[in-house]
């Protein structure tokens, strides 16, 4: 089955304002219409038929600053950033998340990614594990049912450590435990599953809480606040190597098909090791 795919690429060392302007102008859009994330979780309503750029508070930069949290001023002093919606500091902080449109045409997605990543890199953007720059891949699974998905956490648990080879090793990445898998399998409907999915460290967390957003995350399918029903592969590392990005998309699509069939991905370790070599061969 041909599935819709979207990606998110995290960038460091470029001002979010500059990144947004470059993407808007390159794609023929009016930059004055750009809206950014504010506060710890608030995000503007994005249109997923175009490329978007937003800030991301998890990103670090080579100068030691953290997007939305701190910036280095003209005198080289580290300053605290104000992440409010109307904050003038937005013009100063570094770090951005490049969000693609949702497309079925993967080759078109890869080609446009190549163009925009190249443009951003030319203007100072970097993508390294040292700055916790991740690549996330969303794959549409809206055709599947609760009865299909209730079995996925156990299969994902078998594969998650292998997928983690490709990750940035971000300290807040989340994995399924055997206890969690068992509790999820006991759920009788999507509502109880979503509540159990968010039960972390003794309480039910809000929908965007990092602690339940697993490395292979089926939460978006269950989250009534999301406009899309996807599985999110959160365990890839961002890079300017577009061949690696393409491999991540292919692996994500193949994994969804295997999960749909009730099995793990064959030869996953060999495939991941080859992708890790592909990532490490990229020049920065």
Range with the lowest mean pLDDT among 51-55, 60-64, 207-211, 231-235?
207-211
Residue 43 pLDDT level (bands cut at 50, 70, 90): confident
Share of the chain above pLDDT 70, in %: 99
Q: What is the mean pLDDT of residues 232-257?
A: 97
| Domain spans of the chain, in order of start | 5-126, 139-280
Output phi, psi for 113, to 5 deg.
Answer: -65, -45
Residues 113 and 8 sit within 8 Å (Cβ to Cβ): no
Q: Is residue 175 packed enough to be buried (19+ CB in 10 Å), middle (13-18) or exposed (0-12)?
A: middle
pLDDT at 238 over 60: yes
27-64 as b/e, with b when 16 or more CB fall inside 10 Å? eeeeeeebebbbeeeebeebebeebbbbbbbbbbbeee
* pLDDT for 281: 84
Which of 265, 262, 254, 267 is closest to 1 using CA atoms? 254
- Distance CA(127)–CA(117), nearest Å, equals 10
Which of 123, 171, 113 is closest to 13 using CA atoms? 123
Q: Which residues have a Cβ under 8 Å from the Cβ of 194 and sit 6 or more positions away?
A: 219, 222, 223, 224
Residue pLDDT, tens place only, 64-99: 999 999 999 999 999 999 999 989 899 999 999 999
pTM over 0.85: yes
Residue pLDDT, tens place only, 96-139: 999 999 999 999 999 999 999 999 999 999 999 999 999 999 99
Residue 284 pLDDT level (bands cut at 50, 70, 90): very low
pLDDT at 252 over 60: yes
* pLDDT for 40: 74
Average pLDDT, the chain: 95
Which of 264, 242, 202, 238 is closest to 97 using CA atoms? 238
- Distance CA(63)–CA(128), nearest Å, equals 14
CA distances from 109 to 10, 38, 137, 257 (A): 16, 27, 12, 20
Output phi, psi for 230, to 5 deg.
Answer: -130, 165
Which of 97, 113, 130, 109 is closest to 284 using CA atoms? 130
pLDDT at 282 over 80: no
pLDDT at 30 over 50: yes
Residue pLDDT, tens place only, 197-212: 999 989 999 998 889 9
């Amino acid at each position: 089955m041909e599935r819709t795919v979207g990606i998110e690429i995290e960038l460091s060392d470029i001002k979010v304002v500059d990144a947004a302007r470059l993407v808007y102008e390159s794609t023929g859009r009016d930059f004055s219409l750009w809206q950014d994330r504010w506060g710890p979780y608030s995000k503007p309503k994005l249109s997923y038929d175009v490329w978007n750029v937003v800030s991301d508070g998890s990103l670090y930069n080579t100068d030691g600053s953290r997007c939305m949290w701190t910036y280095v001023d003209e005198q080289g002093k580290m300053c605290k950033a104000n992440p409010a919606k109307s904050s003038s500091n937005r013009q100063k902080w570094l770090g951005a998340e490049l969000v693609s449109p949702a497309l079925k045409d993967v080759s078109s997605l890869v080609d446009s990614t190549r163009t925009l990543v190249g443009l951003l890199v030319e203007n100072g953007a970097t993508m390294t594990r040292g700055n916790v720059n991740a690549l996330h891949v969303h794959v549409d699974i809206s055709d599947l049912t609760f009865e299909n998905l209730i079995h996925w956490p156990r299969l994902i648990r078998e594969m998650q450590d292998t997928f983690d080879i490709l990750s940035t090793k971000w300290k807040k990445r989340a994995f399924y435990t055997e206890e969690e898998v068992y509790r999820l399998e006991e759920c009788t409907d999507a509502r109880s599953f979503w509540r159990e999915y968010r039960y972390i460290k003794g309480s039910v967390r809000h929908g965007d809480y990092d602690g339940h957003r697993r490395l292979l995350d089926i939460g978006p399918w269950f989250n009534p606040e999301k406009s899309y029903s996807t599985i999110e592969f959160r365990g890839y590392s961002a890079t300017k190597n577009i061949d690696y990005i393409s491999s991540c998309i292919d692996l994500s699509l193949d994994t969804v098909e295997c999960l749909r069939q009730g099995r793990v991905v064959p030869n996953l370790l060999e495939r991941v090791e080859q992708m890790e070599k592909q990532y490490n061969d990229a020049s920065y």
